[in-house]
Amino acid sequence: MAFATDDLTAWLIGMLADAGRGTLVSLVFGSKLERALSSVTGETVRRTAEEVYPDDPQRAGDVALAITEVFAVQAPAGSLARGETTLELLRAGVARQLAVLDDPELTGTGQSSAEVLGVRAGMLAEKLADHLVSAILARGSRGGPLLPLANQLNHDLTHLNLEMWDAHAGLRGGQAGTTIGQHAEAAPSRRLVWAGCRCGRSSII
């Protein structure tokens, strides 16, 4: 299953530049970065679609096509808020792009594209962002054009995980007898923790 993902690649590069992350782009600006990201986005769309419909290639293909079409029209990328990470901006941007799939007025049929596909736009955005980050980390571990971006995302993951655990520990700080194991069991279910935090040796927990 192969789809043209040029629009998703262009969106990703534009997001990094518009969000004040131009240094990540300028380090490897040009065809090398574009080719590397094009390979990543193609893999990302395929894996996302196959995760949604692992036993139905036809419906998986429909999902992949919908994803690629959504990025043909660029929603405003926005800018980094104070303290916001590149990872957070990427996730928010993907969610903003895919939100149109929930709009029934765009199809003229009374049903949204998401309803026709049998998926929720929010769920699809989460899966797409997860696979996109995972693929960038994996490719970046080998060096080359994606290394600066992979390093930035790894830094963001570490930062956000520390914030998550600090906040959780603060909420439970007044309760005596709380063990580290209890903290881990009750931790908020945010998909931010990647095992083995070195680029590319990572898998989503």
SS (H, E, C) 74-123: CCCCCCCCCCCCHHHHHHHHHHHHHHHHHCHHHCCCCCCHHHHHCCCHHH
Considering Cα of 171, then 177, then 180, then 182, what sign does the dihedral take? Answer: negative
**How much is the pLDDT for 144?**
87
Residue 129 has pLDDT above 60, yes or no: yes
Residue given tokens 């700080």 in the structure block: 173
Res 128 pLDDT > 80: yes
Q: What are phi and psi of 194, to 5 degrees?
A: -110, 130
Distance (Å, rounded) from C-alpha 48 to C-alpha 196? 22
Report how far residue 191's alpha carbon sits from residue 203's, in angstroms, rounded to the nearest whole number. 11
What integer pLDDT is reported at residue 175 of this predicted model? 52
- 166 CB-near residues (< 8 Å, 6+ apart): none
Q: Residue 181 above 60 pLDDT?
A: no
pLDDT tens digits, one per residue of 147-164: 888 998 998 888 877 877
| Per-residue burial over 169-179, b = 16 or more CB atoms within 10 Å of its CB, e = otherwise | eeeeeeeeeee
Q: What confidence tens digit (pLDDT) does each residue in 53-110 have? A: 999 999 999 999 999 999 987 765 555 555 578 888 899 999 999 999 999 988 778 8
Report pLDDT for 12. 87
User: Quick one: tokens of 155?
Assistant: 């830094």
Supply the pLDDT for residue 143: 87
> What does the pLDDT look like over 160-174, one tens digit per residue?
778 777 666 666 655
Any idea which residue has 């929720």 for tokens?
120
Q: Per DSSP, what are the bridge partners of residue 194?
A: 204
